[in-house]
Amino acid sequence: MVARIDHRQAERNVQLYPWFKAFQSLLFWQAVWFLFFQNTLSAAEAILLYAIFDLSTTVLEVPSGYLSDRVGRRPTLILAGLTGLAGASLLTLGHGFAVFALAQVCLGASQAFVSGTDSSLLFESLDRAGRSADVEAEEVKAWRFGFVAFAVSAAVGGALGMFDPRLPFAATVFAMAGMLAIAIGFHEPGKNGQVVTERMRFRSLLHAFDQPVVRWMFVLSFSMYAFSHIPFVFGQPFILQALATVGLEAEAPLVSGTLTSVMMLISVGVSLFARKLRKAIGLPAILLLAFGIQIALIAVLSLTDSIFAVLVLLLRMVPNSLAGPFILARLQPLLGDETRATYLSTQSLVGRLVLATSLLFASGVTSDQGTMVHAEISVILGWYVAAGLLVIGGLIVAARRITVEG
């Protein structure tokens, strides 16, 4: 069993953590991936490749969380860097659906290894440094680093895609190498010396779900995960269709990258006053507001393919700024060290499973020839809006019966 780190090592982890999130978010391919897969393969296969990414992450979500709780945060994050590097390399050098699918599996594995483990390392490092009360502020700081990195990589990736569609993937290789280097530089937070049996782990996990606020957060979290990715998946074909109406479809990679960059910068701006808003209206209100924005955004994209509707996509990451750090900060003290990553991975697993299953159905009603038209996008997004209204309605009713605020 690894001994607990000292105060200096814990503070070093806290200082490195935002940079880890930044390199993790340098996904230069984000603004062009659908366009690349659609042009190389088809729209249906592009959706299927994203479903493969989510399904591969789903398979490893809980095992990776269990690995993190048993073996440690640092080794798990190192595995995340290695698999991310492998996936980006395959997308840069590979050809054909099979190779791209393998790359998606690697990227999915990388995401699974990070999921829950990164936030657990931050909270436990803060706890070892005697600063557990700072978790909300540190989570918000890390999200800002990630959003800025996302913005930079989106703009650069979109520009690179105009020269060669594989250049954004090549740039991501270097980003994943940086993420791996930082993971190696972390110190393992360590345990408190208590021997934890598998029965104790299982009981600790059940205890977490015994708490009404944890169950409420669980439903909200996996729902917001799924809904936040719908505009990401369908945003690029939507942009392509909207630009085609004004004869600018050839500029889709650059426009997509620029819009994504601005989107992330807007989210950074929102994060600057998110904590003040959270204190002003309360935790349940800000979280439900964030989810409502997600549903409204999808509704607008479903109703029109106007070029002006593209601007609505600029709000895609605002809900993450208003919800993500606060959900983690509220949950962390309610979870035990022995099952913290397992719980967070289970939460992510359900969200990914819901998203991947819905995308599999979406790919089944999408043309397997050529690009996706707005008529198809509209029908698919309409079903998502209906489902979202049902979920948020249930959450509003439940929030009146439990204590969400900490």
What is the tens place of the pLDDT at every residue in 150-182?
888 877 887 787 777 788 888 999 999 999 999
CA 385 to chain centre: 20
152 exposure class (CB count in 10 Å sphere: 0-12, 13-18, 19+): middle
Task: Please tell me the least confidently modeled range out of 8-22, 30-44, 327-341.
Answer: 30-44
Label residue 370 left, alpha or beta by phi (over 0 means left) and psi (-120 to 50 means alpha): left
* 237-287 confidence digits (pLDDT tens): 666 666 666 666 666 666 666 777 787 788 888 888 888 899 899 999 999
Residue % of the chain over a pLDDT of 70: 83
**pLDDT given at position 106:** 93
Of the candidates 385, 238, 356, the one whose C-alpha atom is nearest the C-alpha of residue 304 is: 238
pLDDT band for 396, please (50, 70, 90 cuts).
Answer: very high
**What residues contact 115, with CB distance under 8 A and at least 6 apart?**
57, 61, 64, 65, 344, 345, 348
CA-to-CA distance for 313 and 297, rounded, in angstroms?
Answer: 7
Contacts of 385 (CB under 8 A, 6+ apart): 295, 298, 299, 302
- pLDDT at residue 77 in the model: 95
Roughly how many angstroms between the first and final C-alpha of the chain, as a whole number? 33
**Which three-class secondary structure state does DSSP give residue 72?**
coil
| Res. 383 pLDDT band, cuts 50 70 90 | confident
The architecture (CATH level 2) of 7-186+204-399 comes to Up-down Bundle (1.20)
Q: What angle do CA 379, 381, 385 make, to 5 degrees?
A: 115
Name the pLDDT band for 3 (thresholds 50, 70, 90): low
Query: Is 100 in contact with 92 (CB distance < 8 Å)?
Result: no
Q: Enumerate the domain spans of the chain.
A: 7-186+204-399
Residue 262: what are its φ and ψ, rounded to 5°? -65, -40
- Which tops the pLDDT comparison, 245 or 386? 386
Query: Does position 87 have pLDDT exceeding 70, yes or no?
Result: yes
Task: Confirm if 163 and 277 have CB atoms less than 8 A apart.
Answer: no
CB 52 within 8 A of CB 380: no
Q: How far apart are the C-alpha atoms of 328 and 343, rounded to whole Å? A: 12
Q: What is the pLDDT of residue 296?
A: 92
